[in-house]
Structure 1
Amino acid sequence: MTHLAHFNWAALLAPTGDPLVAEFVDNTGRVNAIAERSAGFVWRHGDEDVAGRRIGWPLFTEAPTMIASFSVWESPEAFKAFVYKTVHGAFLRRGAEWFERGGSVNYALWWVPEGHIPSIEEARDRVEQLRAHGPSEAVFTLATLPASSKR
């Protein structure tokens, strides 16, 4: 069986200590706790608020306001339920208040074997593959979820 790995990134409008982004930053722990209690949750990287500075590739190290989230879910359905049907969805809808707007996709999804915890290097490779070649069976978005998702 396979699970769904998820990696996303975004640039805050201000550094994490700035009042402009305080509501978002102050609720990160709450949203993460909801993720961890959600049906289908498997794993998440524990340091989203500073992940951009720890990941160490140009996408993140050149922008001090860049943050990232990294998780694994049992299925696309479980992931979508968390993203859209919990308080996470309310924060997602308000994203323009805290994040720079860009025209490109800011997340990547890919299949991992059950029990596998993907590395930062694996996430980097998938992001770079998605940026260079677009969605494929190897890396995709929710909108381009491969037909093989019936694993």
Structure 2
Amino acid sequence: MQLAQLNIARAKYPFDRPEIKNFISDLDAINAVVDISEGFIWRLTGEGDNAMDIQAFCDENIIVNMSVWSSIDSLKNFISQTHYRDFSLRIKAYFDDVAAASYVLWWQEEGVIPTVNDAIVRLEHLRRYGDSPYAFSFKVPFNIGKQ
């Protein structure tokens, strides 16, 4: 099994506005770190080397980020011990606070790439029912043996 994750965010500004330019210009550097991170398996990309052009919601300002990792620890290490940590501290300048869960984790069969639609279903499940083996958060990280 491998760990899949989806996170979403709603930008405060349209993506062609100068207020969000720095966020967009940092994406290539962040994705380069992702690509060489221990435990990284896959990430969602669109036309470019990021997922900025993937429209998963009616709201054009909502972006999606999906990736697959070998373990919860490998994802946690990427979040806390790489350039991403500094990047994430600046995210509030670009994105609205979300009242509901904005990310979801789940165990995925090895070699299977999750779809955006499946990920959104899991996020909605987490929002509606809370943490479960089907869809969970870092707060209640179901391990592989609990499925």
Relative to the length of structure 2, the TM-score reads: 0.90
In the other structure, the counterpart of 1:65 is: 61
Structure 2, unmatched stretches of 5+, are: none
From 131, 141, 145, the equivalent of 1:145 is 141
SS in 2 for 1:138: coil
Identity of aligned residues (%): 30
Relative to the length of structure 1, the TM-score reads: 0.88
Pairwise CA RMSD = 1.4
Structure 1, unmatched stretches of 5+, are: none
SS in 2 for 1:27: helix
Q: How many residues align?
A: 142
Instruction: Compute the displacement of 1:111 (Å).
Output: 0.1
In the other structure, the counterpart of 1:40 is: 39
Structure 2 contact 101–123 (Cα < 8 Å) conserved: no
Tell whether 2:22 aligns with 1:26.
no
Q: Which has the higher helix share?
A: 1
Equivalence map 1:2-151=2 (5 Å): 2-47=1-46, 48-51=51-54, 53=55, 55=56, 60-61=57-58, 63-146=59-142, 148-149=143-144
Q: Give the Cα separation in 2 of the matches to 1:5 and 1:117.
A: 9
Q: Give the Cα separation in 1 of the matches to 2:23 and 2:83.
A: 12
